[in-house]
């Protein structure tokens, strides 16, 4: 039990603290140079939407407003939306917009597979229905490609108001730092679903039960021997979910997708993948199994209480979880809590959602459908 306790605790601390510290000390994030395109390839922006009547019109208009000098089209589809999303996207008369209003809800990846099949462009830019690009975003993404580059992820800025206690925005800044360092090592994992571009020839259709499509699409690009880069100059923005509660459902669903993706990408575990494998283990695998490690730390600690050190460590764990539960309850009631309590609550909520996702994965959940996350300013 002693060995189990310390190995489990060490892996948790390593993934969340030591690994980022190693990157901070030894890796210098690099800016991706511009290739100064002489000929601009055709680009299609791909948008799959479900019940997005509140933002889909603005999303398409924002995509059309790109300053890209080459041919750019927007391929957008409504996946069996129950609101006016389908009517809105089909109302565009701009010839650059190709809209598809599907009556049956089949899941996001099925829609993406269909839209990619319809595309005639050399490059694809994937984005979300509630995302907003800066006007030069596509131009920057395209100028980031070299012959060895298969995909480029842009930077997503999460917008929140002062009263929002969802710490997803803070966590996202932490993740952005890791992505920049991993890109410098050639080990960026997945892509940012709100803004990333790939060579169309490298797109491999995914099974209909795929959930973390952005991760799997980029991993397939890497598997084919191409670089996946991160360019923080290609900027998009989204609003953070208005509350921690609104974020939980999305994270449970992503949790299911993570474990499916793990089984589909066993090749990335091999040390022959070099820095990419090192980053994959450190940043993804250990994080995905953090709930398991947390349980191992807690229960193995119960067998080590004959020494004062382990009594103290157990009390510390209980206090940590108590603070997280207290904070989550207060936040759900709309009561302001301190930053430390909010961060602990977010961490606990994130890993609880991941654990629920693992249980659903074990039950064999195959649904690749989606549940829309609430936006700020909306009423349920």
Residues 6+ apart with CB under 8 A from 366: 209
Is residue 379 pLDDT above 80, yes or no? no
Rounded Cα gap, residues 333 and 337, in angstroms: 11
Banded pLDDT at 364 (limits 50, 70, 90): confident
27-58 core/surface letters (b: 16 or more CB in 10 A; e: else): bebeebeeeeeeebeebbbbbbbbbbbbbbbe
- How is the chain split into domains, by residue range? 43-248
pLDDT tens, residue by residue, 120-169: 999 999 999 999 999 999 999 999 998 899 999 999 988 865 544 444 56
Tokens representing 301 are 């600690």
- Size (the chain), residues: 380
Q: What is the pLDDT of residue 30?
A: 72
Strand 43-49 and strand 97-102: pairing?
unpaired
Q: What is the pLDDT of residue 370?
A: 58
Rounded Cα gap, residues 354 and 22, in angstroms: 25
Q: What percent of the chain has pLDDT over 90?
A: 76
Q: What is the CATH number of domain 43-248?
A: 3.90.550.10
Task: Check if the beta carbon of residue 189 is closer than 8 Å to that of residue 273.
Answer: no
Query: Average pLDDT for residues 352-359, to the nearest whole number?
Result: 95
pLDDT tens, residue by residue, 191-212: 999 999 999 999 999 999 999 9
Banded pLDDT at 243 (limits 50, 70, 90): low
Q: What value does the mean pLDDT of the chain take?
A: 90
Rounded Cα gap, residues 277 and 189, in angstroms: 10
Is residue 8 pLDDT above 80, yes or no? yes
Q: What is the pLDDT of residue 261?
A: 95
Query: Average pLDDT for residues 209-219, to the nearest whole number?
Result: 95
Q: What is the pLDDT of residue 242?
A: 59
Task: Check if the beta carbon of residue 175 is closer than 8 Å to that of residue 182.
Answer: no
Give the DSSP H or E segment for 354.
Answer: helix 339-362
Is residue 375 pLDDT above 60, yes or no? no
């Amino acid at each position: 039990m002693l060995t189990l306790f310390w190995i489990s605790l060490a892996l948790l601390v390593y993934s969340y603290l030591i690994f980022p510290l190693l990157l901070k000390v030894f890796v210098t994030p690099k800016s991706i140079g511009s290739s100064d395109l002489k000929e601009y390839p055709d680009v299609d922006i791909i948008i799959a939407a479900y019940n997005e009547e509140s933002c889909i019109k603005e999303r398409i208009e924002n995509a059309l407003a790109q300053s890209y000098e080459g041919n750019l089209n927007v391929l957008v589809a409504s996946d069996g939306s129950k609101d006016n999303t389908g009517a809105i996207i089909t109302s565009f008369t701009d010839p650059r917009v190709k809209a598809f209003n599907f009556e049956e809800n089949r899941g996001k990846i099925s829609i993406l597979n269909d839209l990619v099949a319809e595309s005639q462009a050399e490059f694809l830019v994937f984005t979300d229905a509630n995302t907003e690009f800066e006007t030069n975003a596509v131009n920057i993404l395209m100028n980031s490609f070299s012959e060895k580059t298969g995909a480029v992820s842009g930077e997503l800025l999460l917008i929140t108001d002062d009263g929002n206690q969802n710490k997803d925005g803070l966590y996202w800044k932490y993740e952005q730092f890791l992505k920049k360092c991993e890109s410098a090592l050639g080990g960026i994992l997945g892509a940012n679903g709100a803004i990333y571009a790939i060579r169309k020839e490298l797109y491999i259709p995914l099974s209909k039960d795929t959930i973390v499509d952005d991760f799997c699409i980029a991993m397939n690009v890497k598997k084919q021997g191409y670089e996946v880069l991160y360019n923080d100059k290609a900027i998009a923005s989204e609003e953070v979910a208005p509350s921690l509660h609104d974020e939980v459902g999305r994270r449970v669903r992503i949790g299911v997708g993570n474990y499916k993706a793990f089984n589909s990408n066993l090749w990335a575990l091999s040390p022959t993948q070099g820095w990419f494998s090192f980053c994959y283990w450190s940043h993804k695998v250990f994080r995905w199994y953090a709930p398991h490690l947390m349980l191992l730390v807690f229960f193995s600690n119960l067998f080590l209480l004959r020494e004062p050190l382990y009594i103290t460590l157990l009390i510390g764990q209980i206090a940590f979880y108590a603070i997280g539960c207290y904070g989550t309850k207060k936040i759900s009631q709309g009561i302001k809590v301190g930053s430390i309590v909010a961060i602990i609550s977010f961490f606990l909520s994130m890993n609880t959602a991941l654990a629920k996702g693992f249980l659903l994965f074990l039950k064999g959940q195959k649904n690749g459908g989606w549940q829309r996350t609430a936006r700020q300013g909306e009423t349920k």
